[in-house]
Homo-oligomer: A and B are copies of this chain.
Amino acid sequence: MSIKCRFCPIRNLPLFSPMTDPELSFMESFKVGEMTIQPNTPILSAGANSPQLFTALKGFGLRYKLLEDGRRQVLSFVLPGDLIGLQAGVMNQMTHNVESTTSMTLCVFNRNELWTLFRNHPQRAYDLTWISASEERFLGEALTAIGQKSALESVCWALARIYRRLESLHMDERRSVPLPYRQQDLADALGLSLVHTNKTLAKLREQQVATWTEGRLTVNDIFALEDMGLVDSQLPQSRPLM
């Protein structure tokens, strides 16, 4: 039996803006179930028109696009609290893939109810737009990293961003957060080769700024990391959760 939204394990984090009671009951009807999946399982595929939306509750995933010849661009790392499939939800067409990296628990929503949401819950509709705009803001930053920054700057930017996101999810413990990805995933996110990504990470390790081994990222100096990554804007202190 799936958890009721009012007992959702993550929605009480200070990061997520509170919901009213009517919103909460609507979300409970909007939610059609929970899904637990194995590592490396596809969640949504490019070209598909999925009848479902998801919110990640637990675990880590990837959003990416593939070129015909196999080149892969990772668009973002999917962490708990992230909404998955909004694009297919409103545009009836996915143009990227989403898959799990670790095992994951997902909240499943019925896309057909999306219209009810827009008609009866303007605040939730607003939140959806907020989330979409926020995703857009992030991709703009990523574009700037890949397009303009050096490999070292890009890697610092990415690690700082991820560290801050996990920190606001209270997943940090003594300057360290889980980061169960491969170096290849980061390389594909930043448009760098695996080899060069590896050497750049080695540099950060030597300089005692950040160390990423065995699925954990330890950041000795988050401010140095943010500076080196030319991080400009702060993450919002509060955001809606779907």
Contacts and interface: CB of A to CB of B under 8 A. Distances in A.
Interface of A: 65, 67-68, 71-73, 75, 86-87, 89-91, 93, 95-96, 115, 118-119, 122-123, 125-126, 128-130, 132-137, 139-144, 146-149, 188-191, 230, 232-233, 236
Contact of A119 (B86, B122, B143, B230): B122
Contacts of A188: 147
B90 A130 contact: yes
**How many copies altogether?**
2
A91 B146 contact: no
Given A71-B148, A73-B144, A118-B125, 14 more contacts: A65-B140, A86-B129, A86-B133, A89-B133, A90-B126, A90-B130, A91-B130, A95-B140, A115-B122, A118-B126, A129-B129, A139-B139, A143-B143, A147-B189
Contacts of A115: 122, 126
A157 to B, nearest CB: 11
Given A125-B125, A230-B68, A236-B91, A139 B143 contact: yes
B143 A73 contact: yes
A96 to B, nearest CB: 6
Contacts of A95: 137, 140-141, 232-233
A212 to B, nearest CB: 20
A142 B90 CA distance: 20
Contact of A133 (B91, B118, B140, B146): B91
Given A75-B143, A146-B143, A90 B129 contact: yes
A144 B133 CA distance: 19
Q: Which has the most chain B C-beta neighbours within 10 Å: A72, A91, A190? A: A91
A144 B118 CA distance: 32
A125 B129 contact: yes
11 contacts: A68-B230, A91-B137, A91-B236, A96-B140, A125-B129, A129-B132, A136-B136, A139-B139, A143-B143, A143-B146, A147-B191
